[in-house]
Amino acid sequence: MAEDSSYESMLCVKPEVHVYRIPPRASNRGYRAADWKLDEPAWSGRMKITAKDKIAYIKLEDKNTGELFAQAPVEQYPGCVVESVTDSSRYFVIRIEDGNGRHAFIGLGFADRGDSFDFNVALQDHFKWVKQEGELAKQEASDIVAPKLDLSFKEGQTIKISIGNIKKKEAGGVKPRGMAGGLLPPPPGVKVGGVIPPPVGQPAVSAEQTNPASLLDFGSPGPAAPPSADVWGDFTSAGSNSSKDAVTTGWVQFS
């Protein structure tokens, strides 16, 4: 839509429509097309819907010469200028004006339902655009009147942001490092590089008390074994006598 009021746009064109004389409305229920003489239209011709600024015009013209028969300026739809009948979707009641302040109500009918649908949609789309333009103009006017909100920092102005969750994440996320080379850490109570202490309750054997010669003395006989019921006792005593002979003579005797 152009903002120039002299520009007239075309919204819809239908090559054939019919005009009927209608009786006065008997009640507030609305008009009924069945009360008209549908087989005897008062006029037939071409219909155009044009728009100039916010007003739509329904123009009835002669289909051959283009002479204007009647015109209905529409400032609001739905409204009193265009009304649908109660018993059909192809017929409407429109209020025409002659330009001198006089008006009259006539019946307007379409031969095809598709034509009546296009007529209805053309008027709806135009006034939907008018409504959107009005809301946009109001919004622009309010933006001009209302002061704009300044959210920029002034000179020397600073802000402080406190983030408390970072310390908790760092404290809980630290893991102890493992020993180099993939070795496991020593058991509790043992120092790295030291000597494992003896178990509790067992005295430590010092190097001074241990006699290395006793470890190499094979000649001293051990204490005599007590008599037992072991079937191998004789062989044990024989072994003991052989060891005594070996110590006495210095030779090992084989029997």
Q: How confident is the model at residue 184 (pLDDT cuts 50, 70, 90)?
A: low
pLDDT in tens, 48-94: 999 998 999 999 999 999 999 999 999 999 888 999 999 999 999 99
Task: Please give the Cα distance from 64 to 46 (Å, whole number).
Answer: 9
Q: What is the pLDDT of residue 246?
A: 45
Q: Which residues pair with 107 in a beta bridge?
A: 20, 93
> Domain for residue 87, yes or no?
yes
Contact indicator for 149, 38 with CB cutoff of 8 Å: no
Rounded-to-5 percentages of helix, strand, coil across the chain: 25, 20, 50
For residue 114, the domain's CATH number is 2.30.29.30
Q: State what percent of residues in the chain have pLDDT above 70.
A: 59
Q: What is the pLDDT of residue 215?
A: 46
Give the N- to C-terminal CA distance of the chain in Å, as an integer.
137
> Domain for residue 139, yes or no?
yes
For residue 127, how far is the Cα from the chain centroid? Answer: 36
Long-range contacts of 132-137 (CB under 8 A, 24+ apart): 133/1, 133/54
Q: What is the pLDDT of residue 175?
A: 58
pLDDT of 127 over the 50 cut: yes
Quick one: which of 1, 20, 25, 120 has its CA closest to 70? Answer: 20
Strands 43-52, 103-110: pairing is unpaired
> Domain for residue 189, yes or no?
no
> Domain for residue 14, yes or no?
yes
Structural domain including 133 reads 8-144
Task: Please give the Cα distance from 248 to 116 (Å, whole number).
Answer: 144
Q: What is the pLDDT of residue 2?
A: 44
Task: Please give the Cα distance from 68 to 9 (Å, whole number).
Answer: 17
The residue that leads in pLDDT, 234 or 186, is: 186
Please give the tally of structural domains in the chain. Answer: 1
Sign of CA dihedral 42, 47, 51, 56: positive
pTM of the shown model? 0.54
> Domain for residue 218, yes or no?
no
- What average pLDDT is seen over the chain? 75
The residue that leads in pLDDT, 153 or 108, is: 108
Q: Count Cα atoms within 13 angstroms, Cβ side, for 164.
A: 0
Q: Which two tokens stand for residue 142?
A: 């309010």
> Domain for residue 226, yes or no?
no
pLDDT in tens, 87-119: 999 999 999 998 888 999 999 999 899 999 999
Q: What is the pLDDT of residue 194?
A: 53
